[in-house]
Amino acid sequence: MADSFNFELVSPERLLLSAQVTEVVIPATEGEMTVMANHAPTMTTVKPGVVTVKMADGKSERFAVFGGFADILPSGCTLLAESAVHVDELDRSVLENRIAVVRADLEGAGDEKKTRIEQFIAELTKLGEIVIPA
């Protein structure tokens, strides 16, 4: 059995999860990364996507995150999400509202900001395709 470590998923609204886990897959900005016990100390930004958590008892949980930061230490991992929900709580209207709010920021944005906003919209759209059935 794989070693376990403490994982916490925190959003401004609430603590979503605090548990002993064996593996966490994080949608890091530079690509998905798998965190396991005794991971090298790392800090990374998180893009919109799905965090998959394998609990110490073997069960898996999935959470939709909308950006944030992950602090990884050999003894544990804390993901501070801008916003997060269990995938079962995410529905199409919530995601469409988030995309509409972000699209409103496109008007009058400079080129660099416009590129970041368009990338964020693409990430939100992909998240919807992954977790919301057609």
Extract the tokens encoding 119: 């990338």
Q: Are strands 5-10 and 60-73 parallel, antiparallel or unpaired?
A: unpaired
82 and 103 in a single domain? The answer is no
Host domain of residue 113: 91-131
80 and 96 in a single domain? The answer is no
Confidence band of 115 (pLDDT split at 50, 70, 90) = confident
26 and 76 in a single domain? The answer is yes
Q: Please tell me the predicted confidence (pLDDT) of residue 1.
A: 56
23 and 40 in a single domain? The answer is yes
Please, where are the H alpha helices in 31-110? 92-104
| Span 5-40, pLDDT tens digits | 999 999 999 999 999 999 999 999 999 999 999 999
42 and 75 in a single domain? The answer is yes
Extract the tokens encoding 81: 């999400």
122 and 60 in a single domain? The answer is no
pTM score over 0.85: no
The tally of domains found in the chain comes to 2
36 and 100 in a single domain? The answer is no
| Span 70-98, pLDDT tens digits | 999 999 999 999 999 998 888 888 888 88
